[in-house]
Amino acid sequence: MSKLVKNMLVDDLKQRLTNVNELIVVSLGRLDGQKTTQLRQSLRKKKIHLQLVKNSLARRATLNTPLAPAFGTTEGMLAIAWGGEDVVDLAKELDRVSGAKEYAGFEFRGGALEGARMDASEVKAVAKWPSRAEQLSILSGQISSMGAKLSSQIGSAGGLLAGQISSRVDDLEKAAGAEVPAA
């Protein structure tokens, strides 16, 4: 491959990875062209990009970016995946793919998250994290439970006070009714 072609590929990859802060490096194993196309189509539906890259060209394209650590110890022809709703969504989907029988040989090689290198086991650990939507759901549940708890505590104290006042008023009315002489 000529230097001109290599430079064009590096520039294209740089342009594709603009504003990308995390990616996962995978090996497609011995997937044939048809299986690779099916995989790309299924990932594309979830807004995940998968691109085969030559390791040395990927290193050059990600030089001085937060993605550079992903290619520190990788070798050979690999694929990079990025996109999805967030990195957890990306890792979960790729973990699902790695467990599918039809994509046997698909495996994690590493990745980069916020400028730090991840190895294959760390990528699997990220796949177990709650996604952004799940985190927001947990957070809203915690906030609303605190509000409900506070409301019930305020209501119970006010209800208790109102009950005591009502009881005292009833006692005073009974006592006042007993003191009035019958005419």
Angle, in degrees to the nearest 10, between helices 120-127 and 87-99? 110
Higher pLDDT, 21 or 161: 21
- pTM more than 0.85: no
Residue 79 bridge partners (DSSP): 26, 52
Does position 110 have pLDDT exceeding 60, yes or no? yes
Whether the CB-CB separation of 110 and 70 falls below 8 Å is answered with: yes
In this predicted model, what pLDDT tens digit does every residue of 130-144 receive, in sequence order?
877 888 888 888 888
